[in-house]
Amino acid sequence: MLAEITLPVLIIYPVATLLVGKILSLNFQRQRASRERERLLAVLESSLNEIYLFHPNTLRFEYVNAAALRNLGYSWEQMRTMTPVNIKPEYNLATFRELIQPLLKGQTP
């Protein structure tokens, strides 16, 4: 009877150890990624420079830091409905898309 109980436990034990190890590793990676994300956000928010992040297809702003909001005088709710063309009247959609095309292709200036 002991052999019947011990055998499945011995077979399952390495698998369970592997799964627990993977779960702990994934949890650690998520926590680390979360800390890095928070640190990056703190850097962006504390910058005195205006920082804008926009979606490459819609061009709508996805992030605008506090300095940009302060300098432009818009709220985040207003900015999230806007694109760079709305704050840079010297560009239209076509000329702005042409300007960012090298970036979208992964090319550097």
Do residues 67 and 50 make contact, with C-beta atoms less than 8 angstroms apart? Answer: yes
Compare 19 and 82 and report the one with higher pLDDT. 82
Calpha distance 92→69 (Å, rounded): 22
Burial 68-85 (b: 16+ CB within 10 A, else e): beeebebeeeebeebbbb
**pTM, two decimal places:** 0.68
Calpha distance 8→15 (Å, rounded): 11
Domain membership of residue 109 (yes or no) is no
- What is the model's pLDDT at position 23? 72
Could you tell me where the DSSP H helices lie in the chain? 2-46, 66-72, 76-79, 84-87, 93-104
Do residues 82 and 60 make contact, with C-beta atoms less than 8 angstroms apart? Answer: yes
Domain membership of residue 28 (yes or no) is yes
pLDDT tens digits, one per residue of 41-72? 999 899 999 999 999 999 999 999 999 999 99
- What is the model's pLDDT at position 7? 45
Residue 28, pLDDT above cutoff 50: yes
User: Do residue 40 and residue 53 come from a single domain?
Assistant: no
User: Do residue 23 and residue 9 come from a single domain?
Assistant: yes
Compare 82 and 28 and report the one with higher pLDDT. 82
- What is the model's pLDDT at position 81? 96
Calpha distance 22→29 (Å, rounded): 10
pLDDT tens digits, one per residue of 40-49? 999 989 999 9
Q: Which domain holds residue 42?
A: 1-46
Residue 6, pLDDT above cutoff 70: no
